[in-house]
């Protein structure tokens, strides 16, 4: 199935507010830069390779491996520190809807990329070494009937992958190995935003 893009309207404004989330951090993870804090060099990189602001959802920088990952509407592109393309990866069965929060991408401790879909509850993992793609159909425990994907992604300090639904009304802990997700009970519901601003329970 080919990728389908219903609408791409500017840069996604997903902000992974790791300092706001209680207990969340980047320890043991590659240093990442989001599009919210993108630099002039990030924009120049996109333009150099024919990718404008309207053609990308997220930029992630892995300073350990000197790589830049760009999540676009049709693919994921990886560049080296000299801005040379390393790999272009197509995500099978990936599609995007414009009326909910945009998809996201994070880098795990190995430098591999995890990408969300904002339509079904699916995640893709791209291995940092082989660039092999693994697709995970995530089961929402207790809410299996929900037909919603994920917007913002983040890693908690303990390495747990956390995801905000694309409708921005619930927060989930993801177990990628088991392809399942558990709803996080919060004292206050997440704000109606595409960013992870809700506090995790202690």
Per residue in 137-176, pLDDT (tens digit) is 999 998 877 878 898 899 988 889 999 988 767 889 999 9
Q: How confident is the model at residue 93 (pLDDT cuts 50, 70, 90)?
A: confident
pLDDT at 11: 22
pLDDT at 61: 94
Considering the domain boundaries, does residue 62 fall inside one? yes
Question: For all residues of the chain together, what is the average pLDDT?
Answer: 74
Q: Which two tokens stand for residue 62?
A: 């892995």
Q: Residue 136 and residue 179: Cα distance in Å, rounded?
A: 6
Considering the domain boundaries, does residue 189 fall inside one? no
Considering the domain boundaries, does residue 16 fall inside one? yes
Query: What does the pLDDT average to over 29-58?
Result: 54
Considering the domain boundaries, does residue 109 fall inside one? yes
Count of the separate structural domains present in the chain: 1
Least confident of 75-84, 97-106, 191-200: 191-200
pLDDT at 44: 59
Considering the domain boundaries, does residue 61 fall inside one? yes
Considering the domain boundaries, does residue 201 fall inside one? no
Domain that holds residue 82: 11-183
Contacts of 115 (CB under 8 A, 6+ apart): 71, 76, 91, 94, 103, 104, 105, 123, 124, 125, 126
Q: Is the pTM of this model over 0.85?
A: no
% of the chain surpassing 90 pLDDT: 39
Considering the domain boundaries, does residue 198 fall inside one? no
Q: How confident is the model at residue 40 (pLDDT cuts 50, 70, 90)?
A: low
Considering the domain boundaries, does residue 113 fall inside one? yes
Q: From 140, 147, 67, select the one nearest 105 (Cα to Cα).
A: 67
């Amino acid at each position: 199935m080919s990728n389908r893009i219903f609408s791409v309207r500017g840069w996604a404004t997903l902000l992974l507010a790791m300092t706001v989330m209680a207990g969340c951090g980047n320890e043991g993870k590659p240093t990442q830069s989001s599009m919210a804090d993108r630099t002039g060099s990030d924009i120049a990189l996109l333009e150099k390779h024919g990718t404008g602001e309207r053609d990308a959802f997220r930029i992630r920088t892995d300073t350990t491996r000197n790589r830049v990952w760009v999540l676009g509407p049709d693919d994921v592109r990886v560049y080296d520190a000299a801005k040379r393309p390393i790999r272009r990866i197509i995500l099978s069965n990936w599609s995007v809807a414009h009326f909910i929060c945009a998809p996201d991408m994070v880098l795990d401790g190995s430098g591999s990329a995890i990408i969300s879909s904002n339509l079904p509850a699916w995640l893709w993992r791209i291995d940092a070494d082989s660039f092999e793609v693994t697709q995970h159909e995530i089961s929402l425990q207790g809410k299996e009937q929900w037909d919603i994907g994920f917007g913002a992604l983040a890693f908690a300090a303990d390495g747990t992958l956390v995801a905000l639904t694309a409708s921005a009304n619930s927060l989930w802990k993801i177990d990628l190995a088991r392809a399942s997700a558990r709803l996080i009970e919060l004292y206050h519901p997440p704000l109606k935003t595409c960013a992870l601003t809700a506090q995790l329970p202690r």
